[in-house]
Each structure stands twice: as C-alpha cells, then as structure tokens.
C-alpha cells in the first residue's frame, strides 16, 4: 500500500475530529488502520460497523445502525433515527471533519463508491462545506457503479492505494421454516410489483419464489444475489433500473454490477424517502423483527434494553409501502426464537417499538392479516395464524387481560 500525503492531511484536522467511514461490508480496513494510528482520539461514524472497527480508549463509535463491531462497546454512541433522516445529522448535529471512502480507481475524472453509497454523499458535501477532508481508498477490485456512486476526483483530497479483494457474502442454506415463510410472502406478490429486497434466508426464499413473475421492479435499500437470480430468468422489468443504496453478495454479483447501467446506486435520502417509495407501484416491503406483540407493534432494535441494531430502513419502507397503490408492508419472522428459546409473538413488547401498522405478520405458522382489522381482530389473527401453537392458550389469556378478547 502506498499513501499520498495522508499523514500531513490528517495532522490538519481539529482535535478529536469526527471521521465518517464507509460501513457495512465495504469498509477500507487498511486505510482506516492508518487513520486510527494517526489520530490519538476521534469520533468514528459508521453504519453497521463490522468487527474490525477500532475500539479503544480515545475512539467513540458513532452510528444510527449498530453492527457487530459496535454492539457491545462501552464507547458506543447510538443516535436513534430513521435512516432517511440520518444525512441531516451531518449538516446539523454531527458535522464530519473527514470522510473515508472505499472507491474504484479513477475513470474519466471520476471514481465510483461501487457497492456502498448510503449516507456518504451527504457526508462528503457536509465535510467540503466546512473545509473538511475527503480520503479515498482506491481499489481496483471495487466494481464501478453509477448514479450517486460516482464522485468527481476534484472532491477528493487524498487518495490511498488499497488493492485488496472485496469481501463476499457467505453462502447460507435456506432452512425449511424460512423457505415456507418466503413462499407465503411470495404468494402475495403480483406481476409488476416493486420489491424491497434484503439479504438473509427469508428475503432469499421470497425472491426465489418469484421467478415465475414478470415485470417486477426493485427499489430497495440493499440487494444481494437473489436480485441477480430474478434478472437471469427475465422476471425483472428491463426498462426500469434496479435502484439501491448498497449491495453485498457473491463474486458473480460483483462482476455483474461492474459497469452495469441497469444498476442505479442512489443516496439514502432518495432510496429511503417514504414519499418516493410510495410512488412505486405495488410496493412490497419485507422486514423482520425480534418480537411482535398483540397490538401489532414490532421490536426490531433492542434486546433487554441494549441497542442491538436500530430503526434502519424498516420505518421508512413500511410507511412508503403502505402508501403505495397496491402496496403492502410485511413483517416476516419465525414464531419461535431458537437461541432465546421463546415465542416471538408476545403479549406486549417490553422494549421500545421499532415499527407498527404493517399489512401483515408472516411466520411459518401462516399469515396474520393486520391492516384494516380492529385491535381485537389483529390480536386474534396474530394468535391463531402467526404464534407458535405452544403459546396460543397463554396469549389468549393475556389478550383478555389487555382488553383484546373476551373471557371464554
């Protein structure tokens, strides 16, 4: 690795600066290590920070979506926010002094942020307005994507060579329960629908169940190989770009998106704007949760009061999908938590609520229809169609206590 005047540039930063770094699975680790070695104390902002983040005295880990590299740190500063509103932080409460990107090598006076756009354009703009520093770790292995991923090289103050292989998503088997949940979700999808497509067993199973549909669109926060699978079989509308803010997947996916103008990488303020989401026809939003209670409130963020993740895009996409013509917002989860050995359908969540007012809740037990039902019918639907059979009698008793059912 060869640095280009990085040390002197970092020396000009103010005391205890705020550094925004590319998060998720696109963090430029070797360049971040150089930054960490040069700064005795600083605030490090990263969305979904992974396990190699610097976590030492002098470093404050800032985020609005907690990743495994931040989750149990005593130096974590969690800023609750819908993801669509996070970019506003950079202009107001949390101005960045430096932004560390992971990009392609320059092409025609531009670099591309490739797999990760997210909140970074807003961070770059805020940093430049206040005379801050933009550092690009340039990597020949980063795929070149278009849209808001492209940045003029004139905006970059320091380029660091960082030619390392890009991380790829592990191949995970879809278990029987996840496959059935995915099929229940897929059965609700019509031709011409717009998909919010994440990563994981249930989203993968859902999208694999849509190979027979036609004219599908993708407007999502992130996507993985399941979208490529739909493209291969002709399920996607080829006249509409795939719109996303970041991606993560296999080497084949990385090769496919490289230089592919079908893929439009867009900043978070756009992808997660509920008003823009609502403009998509038959918008399908599929998210998960840790718990859903009999009032159809979902906790997807906290475990025993400790922050586990954050709002993410769930609140944005649920609202947007519910306002879409023909749209629906689903919470998909297993009815029994295998690690905690407990029901995921509970009488009343005892953690802060992440979201509510969805179309339905889907488990391997079936589909609980929520939208347009009164609170008693919502509770009945959740007990009869989503909860594990072993807890249904207990939930019925709790429903009576909560005023959601009459005594038998």
pLDDT digits (tens, 9 = 90+) for 197-210: 777 788 888 988 99
The CB-based long-range contact list for 122-125 (8 Å cut-off, 24+ gap) reads 122/86, 122/87, 122/88, 122/90, 122/91, 122/267, 122/268, 122/269, 123/20, 123/45, 123/87, 123/90, 123/96, 123/99, 124/99, 124/151, 124/155, 125/90
Distance CA 236, CA 400 (A): 47
Active site residue 252: no
- Does the pLDDT of residue 301 top 70, yes or no? yes
Looking at residues 95-115, what average pLDDT do you find?
Answer: 97
Residue 264: phi and psi, rounded to 5, are -115, 105
- Does the pLDDT of residue 4 top 90, yes or no? no
Q: Which of 150, 221, 269, 364 is catalytic?
A: 221
When pLDDT is cut at 50, 70 and 90, the band that residue 408 belongs to is confident
- The domains of the chain, with CATH numbers, are 6-161 (3.40.1080.10), 176-401 (3.40.1080.20)
Q: What are the tokens at 186? A: 């897929």
Residue 279: phi and psi, rounded to 5, are -75, -15
pTM: 0.94
Burial class (CB in 10 A: 0-12, 13-18, 19+), 51: exposed
- Does the pLDDT of residue 1 top 60, yes or no? no
Three-class DSSP category at 391: helix
Q: What percent of the chain has pLDDT over 90?
A: 88
pLDDT in tens, 210-252: 999 999 999 999 999 999 999 999 999 999 999 999 999 999 9
């Amino acid at each position: 690795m060869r640095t280009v005047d990085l040390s002197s540039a970092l020396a000009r930063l103010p005391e205890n600066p705020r550094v925004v770094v590319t998060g998720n699975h696109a963090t430029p680790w070797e360049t971040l290590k150089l930054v960490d070695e040069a700064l005795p104390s600083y605030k490090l902002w990263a969305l979904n920070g992974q396990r190699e983040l610097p976590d030492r005295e002098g470093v404050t880990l800032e985020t609005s979506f907690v990743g495994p590299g931040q989750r149990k740190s005593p130096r974590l500063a969690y800023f609750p926010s819908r993801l669509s509103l996070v970019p506003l932080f950079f202009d107001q409460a949390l101005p960045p002094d430096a932004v560390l990107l992971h990009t392609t090598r320059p092409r025609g006076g531009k670099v591309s942020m490739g797999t990760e756009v997210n909140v970074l354009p807003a961070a770059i703009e805020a940093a430049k307005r206040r005379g801050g520093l933009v550092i690009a770790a340039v990597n020949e292995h980063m795929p070149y994507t278009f849209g808001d991923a492209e940045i003029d090289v004139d905006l970059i103050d320091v380029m660091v060579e960082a030619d390392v292989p890009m991380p790829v998503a592990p191949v995970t088997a879809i278990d029987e329960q996840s496959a059935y949940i995915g099929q229940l979700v897929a059965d609700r999808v019509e031709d011409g629908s717009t998909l919010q497509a994440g990563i994981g067993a249930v989203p993968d199973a859902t999208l694999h169940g849509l190979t027979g549909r036609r004219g599908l669109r993708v407007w999502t926060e992130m996507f993985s190989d399941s979208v490529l699978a739909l493209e291969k079989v002709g399920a996607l509308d080829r006249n509409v770009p795939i719109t996303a803010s970041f991606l993560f997947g296999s080497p084949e996916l990385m090769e496919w998106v490289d230089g592919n103008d079908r893929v439009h990488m867009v900043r978070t303020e756009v992808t997660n704007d509920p008003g823009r989401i609502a403009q998509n026809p038959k918008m399908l939003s599929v998210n998960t949760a840790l718990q859903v209670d009999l009032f159809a409130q979902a906790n997807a963020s906290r475990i025993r009061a400790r922050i586990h993740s954050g709002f993410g895009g769930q609140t944005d996409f649920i609202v947007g999908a519910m306002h879409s013509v023909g749209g629906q917002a689903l919470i998909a989860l297993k009815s029994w938590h295998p690690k905690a050995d407990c029901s995921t359908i509970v009488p009343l969540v005892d953690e802060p609520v992440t979201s509510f007012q969805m179309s339905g809740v889907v488990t391997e037990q079936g589909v609980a229809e929520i939208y347009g039902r009164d609170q008693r019918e919502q509770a009945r639907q959740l007990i009869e169609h989503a909860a594990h059979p072993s807890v249904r009698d207990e939930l019925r008793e709790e429903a009576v206590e909560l005023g959601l059912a009459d005594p038998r």
